[in-house]
Homo-oligomer: A and B are copies of this chain.
Amino acid sequence: MQDTIRGLIQKNGSKIILLVLDGLGGLPLNGKTELETAATPNLDKLASEGACGLHIPVGQGITPGSGPGHLGLFGYDPLEWEIGRGILEAMGLGLEVKRTDVAVRCNYATIENGIIKDRRAGRPPTEKTAQLTQLLARQIQEIDGVKFIFGAGMEHRFAVVMRFPDALGPDAARVNDSDPQHDGKPPLPLLPGSKKAEKVAAVSEKFIARAAEILKDHAPANFVMMRGFSTHPHMPSFEDAYGLRPLAVASYPMYRGISRLLDMDAPDIEGGFDRQVDYLESRYRDFDYFFLHFKKTDSMGEDGNFAGKVKKIEEADSFIPRLLALKPDVLIVTGDHATPAVMKGHSWHPVPLMLKAPYVLGRTCSRFTERECLKGELGIIKTASIMPLALAQAGRLKKFGA
């Protein structure tokens, strides 16, 4: 479908804002969901005038991670474009992943006489891992012309991005995990599963050997293991796909990372959501499409904090007038997936969706809630359908067939 859309793209001066309230959808506590409990006068007005519905990120019953959830919102079917674990890990730690890169999840381990004694090196404190990772980063900057970039994670975890001189293509990451999955076994040799993966496997083996040498006096963290080898998914850039100049305004590394995979402009932004909106306003002339990410709704849902999520929804609602003041041609408000506080985690439930746009029926919903969105004119749609709808409303799609 994305290919069909690509063939219909026409440019104009219209602007689209996508406001993602992360983990927006919810479930009832004492009969009312988070959205039903929240006072959201601005969102309710938009919902009553605009086009509403719900969307399903991956498929019925499938709980999406942040990666697939956002890919869908950007119009990339998450079943077609899978983002590898290594990429997600690296992006979550704030590392940029380019089209020339192989990203790998790594962890510190304890080795004795060639046998893995503890696959997690006794779960070192996160500060220790930061120190060890700095040590590796200082001493391993390059192997055989491949640049190494490190990101320290929690406890035993870190990530490595190997930056090759040229793009390798999707096959290049077909390398097995070195983790033997059980203590008491030797690490597995890295074997290339394709011609293109040969150099990746060879360089990675050299990396493991050099790391072991550097770490040899740092037991229990005296070894590293690698898993989740992944390359950039090589999807078309957002601008190539849609002819839109995109700006991502997100304060968390993971969301900037996903945006950068699509070659969006995604600057680091410090401070609260108000600073994100400030930044969007300051760059409004320079772009056509704005992805504005509000994180805290998801965090509260993950914590099982129903009242906290309600409050964060109300906070997000208060920013709507500033977005409307920019007079975007299309304003989309939705989530990347549901995070019901009663479930303390992501879920598979359809996510409420609202489009403020010029060509809608309107007047089918009285509020912006899960139950009211069920009455909406959009019905329950695939998340990847939101992008074509927004493009159509913005006058950016030609007719299909004469």
Which of B33, B79, B361, B381 has a CB less than 8 Å from the CB of A4?
B79
Question: Looking across the interface, which residue of chain B has its beta carbon closest to that of A88?
Answer: B402
Would you call B359 and A364 a contact (CB within 8 A)?
no
Would you call B377 and A377 a contact (CB within 8 A)?
no
Binds B, one of A126-134, A148-156, A385-393: A385-393
Chain A, 241-272, CB within 8 A of any chain B CB? none
Which of B375, B393, B401 has a CB less than 8 Å from the CB of A374?
B375
Q: Does A60 have its Cβ within 8 Å of any Cβ on chain B? A: yes
Measured CA separation A209–B387 after assembly (Å): 48
Would you call A343 and B363 a contact (CB within 8 A)?
no
Binary interface profile of A, 26-67, with partner B (CB < 8 Å = 1, else 0)? Answer: 011001010000000000000000000010001111111111
Would you call B347 and A400 a contact (CB within 8 A)?
no
Q: Does A83 have its Cβ within 8 Å of any Cβ on chain B? A: yes
Binary interface profile of A, 358-402, with partner B (CB < 8 Å = 1, else 0)? Answer: 011111100000110011110111100101111111000111111
CB contacts (< 8 Å) of A374 on chain B: these are 364, 375-377, 379
CB contacts (< 8 Å) of A293 on chain B: these are none
Which of B376, B388, B392, B400 has a CB less than 8 Å from the CB of A65?
B400
Question: Looking across the interface, which residue of chain B has its beta carbon closest to that of A91?
Answer: B402
CB contacts (< 8 Å) of A31 on chain B: these are 363
Given the contacts A79-B4, A359-B340, A389 and B61 also touching, CB distance less than 8 Å: yes
Given the contacts A78-B401, A374-B364, A1 and B64 also touching, CB distance less than 8 Å: no
Given the contacts A374-B377, A377-B370, A389-B60, A65 and B359 also touching, CB distance less than 8 Å: no
CB contacts (< 8 Å) of A360 on chain B: these are 27
Binary interface profile of A, 220-257, with partner B (CB < 8 Å = 1, else 0)? Answer: 00000000000000000000000000000000000000
Would you call B400 and A63 a contact (CB within 8 A)?
yes
Would you call A362 and B402 a contact (CB within 8 A)?
no
Chain A, 82-101, CB within 8 A of any chain B CB? 82-83, 85, 88-89, 92
Would you call A392 and B61 a contact (CB within 8 A)?
yes
Measured CA separation A78–B399 after assembly (Å): 13
Would you call A78 and B364 a contact (CB within 8 A)?
no
CB contacts (< 8 Å) of A393 on chain B: these are 61
Measured CA separation A402–B391 after assembly (Å): 28
Given the contacts A27-B360, A362-B28, A400 and B62 also touching, CB distance less than 8 Å: yes
Given the contacts A362-B28, A377-B374, A400-B78, A391 and B61 also touching, CB distance less than 8 Å: yes
Question: Looking across the interface, which residue of chain B has its beta carbon closest to that of A373?
Answer: B377
Would you call A62 and B402 a contact (CB within 8 A)?
no
Q: Does A335 have its Cβ within 8 Å of any Cβ on chain B? A: no
Q: Does A348 have its Cβ within 8 Å of any Cβ on chain B? A: yes
Measured CA separation A376–B54 after assembly (Å): 13
CB contacts (< 8 Å) of A69 on chain B: these are 401
Chain B: minimal CB distance from A395 (Å): 10
Chain B: minimal CB distance from A122 (Å): 25
Question: Looking across the interface, which residue of chain B has its beta carbon closest to that of A391?
Answer: B61
Measured CA separation A346–B69 after assembly (Å): 32
Would you call B388 and A60 a contact (CB within 8 A)?
yes
Measured CA separation A349–B68 after assembly (Å): 27
Would you call B67 and A401 a contact (CB within 8 A)?
yes
Would you call B400 and A85 a contact (CB within 8 A)?
no
Would you call A63 and B397 a contact (CB within 8 A)?
yes
Measured CA separation A60–B389 after assembly (Å): 6
CB contacts (< 8 Å) of A4 on chain B: these are 58-59, 62, 79
Beyond contacts A33-B361, A85-B402: 5 other A-B pairs, Cβ-Cβ < 8 A, are A60-B389, A63-B399, A65-B399, A340-B359, A346-B399
Minimum-distance CB pairs A-B, first 7: A61-B388, A65-B401, A60-B385, A61-B392, A68-B401, A379-B380, A88-B402
A–B pairs, 5, beta carbons within 8 Å: A60-B388, A64-B401, A65-B402, A82-B401, A363-B371
